[in-house]
Amino acid sequence: MKKTLLPLALFSSLLLADGYEIYKNNCASCHIEMISKEEVLNNLDKMKAPPMVEVSNQIRSNIIIKDDDEDVHKHLFVLFVKDYIQNPELSKSMCHPGALERFDVMPSLKAKLTEQEAQEVATWLYERYEGVSFR
Ligand code: HEC
């Protein structure tokens, strides 16, 4: 048992690190990683997009599943984010109407990210903010 558990744990932490690198290289210029609501209000004119902590919280709480299965919830979250970053559209956005009025629709990153990278950054977006709320 131990033999298989260790490499798996290593593998998933490597994946997480990769997701963070992908975030830093492709998303951080627009989406701040961590900020409080108060700081957002004080820096509204400098914000190019909703902060990542808000994006993650918003999608996490909007996706509601019937049987409360964490894996299914995560899977749907990742699917939504992957699709959104490749094919963003106003009609799909779960952002607050206020945020959508402020910001333009996100540009598609389809040409910049591979399928695997989109998967990794979406997984990072879920895991990074587990138990971290936007307040
Ligand atoms: C050029 C700026 C820019 C970059 C780079 C960018 N985004 Fe966005 N993103 C936005 C803006 C603006 C919005 C808000 C409007 C909207 O929903 O399209 C947004 C919204 C989102 C949403 C919200 C969807 C929703 O409905 O709640 C997700 C998810 C997202 N971005 C993920 C990412 C990820 C992941 C990356 C990097 C791989 C990234 N973005 C890179 C500008 C950007």
Kindly list the domain boundaries of the chain, sorted by start residue: 8-128
> What is the average pLDDT value for the chain, to the nearest integer?
90
Percentage, residues of the chain above pLDDT 90: 73
Whose C-alpha lies nearest to ligand 1, atom 41? 27
Q: Ligand 1: does its nearest atom lie under 6 Å from the Cβ of 134? A: no
* CA–centroid distance, residue 106 to ligand 1 (Å): 5
Q: What is the spatial distance between Cα 113 and Cα 135, in angstroms, rounded to a whole number?
A: 30
Q: Which amino acid is at 117?
A: E
Q: Ligand 1: does its nearest atom lie under 6 Å from the Cβ of 62? A: no
Q: Ligand 1 atom closest to Cα of 125?
A: 35
pLDDT at 95: 84
Span 1-54, pLDDT tens digits: 555 565 666 666 666 679 999 999 999 999 999 999 999 999 988 999 999 999
Class of the 8-128 domain?
Answer: mainly alpha
pTM of the entire structure?
A: 0.90
Q: What is the spatial distance between Cα 129 and Cα 125, in angstroms, rounded to a whole number?
A: 7
Residues 6+ apart with CB under 8 A from 2: none
